[in-house]
Chains A and B, each alone.
Chain A
């Protein structure tokens, strides 16, 4: 099997002022993978995501998307991004669900072009995928956290991306909807062939669903099949992470107890 490379990071480091947040990360994601990115708080997961989206520039190393250096990458419609709900938007913003989802078509439409009926139809289609088509004309701020997150997933899907990045999308979503959420992700991955990268706190749940797991704490400590990861005992994890394990196993158990 010789799958296409979606994302390639080689020896990437990033510093905020003088503090190193990401150190010598090399990572490659192949088409069709569902990769779970886990690590303790402050381990640089979100920074790594921002680097691969071009929102931050690495202090060292190279990043390429679909075999193009990120600096000259232009096919942004191939990438979908769902951020942590809490800090991604102003909930008093006067916009309807449809207006928010249509925003996802901006990359496909391009400058000096107007939205057409097709953009609207595609937006409604994406809302059907996340089962939110009944809320088209509702104000985004009036919805529950879980509903808002579904709308943001629809926004990410509406450009028909090949690679979907989700940064802790289940934070603030109530527990009974989390299972549905993973079902949706599996559907996107298996049926639509979308490559997924999901950051999660909840190591237990993510390793159940993802095909591959990456554990990071500034630098990558493990990258492999999730089966392999699940086979590790706590002792193995201890060796794997060194002193960072306290925090990690702590999170692990929290996750098991339904932290979400």
Chain B
């Protein structure tokens, strides 16, 4: 493994991109989960697929364009999807969650048409759906690096605003926080991270990396900072374990990463249950 890691550039790209994604996905995921927006990640990943399909179609049909990077088009669609969700949430004030199935099914619907026009599935598309250790080019790895740095800067700068907004929107407003602006910046970052993470875990499983580590951390933490720390730790363990097993078993990393994350979640739930029962017993004794 170490030897092939040093020999093959694609493995280095996948490992580095994986480590970055394992950090930023759960970081944003904490805010997504506590704001009860978990499904937004799913909607945005599906519309990313539309972008990828559009890009593959253009590449195939327009001779002038040979080497288009589908990831960029995926990102663009994901950001547009994020903006559309916000607009739709305003249209359906009393049914805000309706925005999610509209964008999700719309994304898949248009995607499937574009895929057929591009004459069906190919191996490329399969790796976009379930992730791949070979799909990350050096350019894409650097794109992930830029996005990772942007996410870390924004979350650090707006940490207290994001926290107040997540806890209590009214209080945020009375604190003079420009909730609309902060939320907009946040949702654009989410869209970009989803399009980045999609290369490793695949479109269908990208939301898992944003929610499962957080779900496990929520069982174990008392404070918000601890939740963030544990979520990132669980995210990294899932990505690294998932990538290594994926390499040895020759299965898409999306599968192995998600299965690892689910195992961590199960252990967290069991640990919490056992420890709270033990402390109950301790109290009665």
Contacts of B166 in A (CB 8 A): 93
- Mask, A191-204, CB within 8 Å of B = 1, is 00000000000000
Inside 8 A of B175's CB, which chain A residues have their CB?
A: 76, 103-104, 106-107
CB of A94 within 8 A of CB of B171, answer: no
| Residue in A54, A94, A103, A104 whose Cβ sees the most chain B Cβ within 10 Å | A94
Question: For A104, what are the chain B residues with a Cβ–Cβ distance below 8 Å?
Answer: 175
Q: Would A137 and B164 count as touching, CB distance under 8 A?
A: no
Which residues of A sit under 8 angstroms from B282, Cβ to Cβ? Answer: none
Are B167 and A137 neighbours in the complex by a CB distance under 8 Å? no
Point out the residues of chain B lying under 8 angstroms from A109, CB to CB: 160
A229 to B281 CA separation, bound complex (whole angstroms): 55
User: Is A139 positioned at the interface, with any CB of B under 8 Å from its CB?
Assistant: yes
On whether the beta carbons of B164 and A103 are closer than 8 Å, the reply is yes
Residues of A within 8 A of B174 (CB): 53-55, 76, 79, 81, 107
Chain B: minimal CB distance from A197 (Å): 14
Count B interface residues, CB 8 Å: 28
- Is there a chain A Cβ closer than 8 Å to B141's Cβ? no
Chain B residues 176-229 with CB under 8 Å of chain A are: 176-177, 217-218, 221-227
Residues of B within 8 A of A139 (CB): 222-223
Please name all residues of chain B whose beta carbon is closer than 8 Å to the beta carbon of A95 when the two chains form the complex: 163, 167, 223-224
With beta carbons under 8 angstroms apart, the residue of B160, B177, B224 that contacts A94 is: B224
Give the number of residues in A that approach B within 8 Å (Cβ atoms): 31
Distance to closest chain A CB from B138 (angstroms): 34
Q: Contacts A106-B160, A115-B160: A94 and B176 contacting too (C-beta < 8 A)?
A: no
- CB neighbours (8 Å) of A93 from chain B are 34, 166-167, 224
> Is A107 in contact with B176, judged by CB distance below 8 angstroms?
yes
Q: Is the CB of A94 within 8 A of B161?
A: no
| Bound complex: CA A260 to CA B253 (Å) | 57
Q: Does A111 contact B (CB under 8 A)?
A: yes
Chain B residues, Cβ within 8 Å of A115? 160
CB distance from B228 to the nearest CB of A (A): 9
16 residue pairs from A and B, CB less than 8 Å apart = A53-B170, A55-B170, A81-B174, A88-B168, A88-B171, A94-B217, A94-B224, A95-B223, A96-B223, A99-B225, A103-B164, A106-B177, A107-B175, A114-B160, A138-B222, A155-B171
Residues of B within 8 A of A (CB): 34, 36, 157, 159-161, 163-164, 166-168, 170-177, 217-218, 221-227
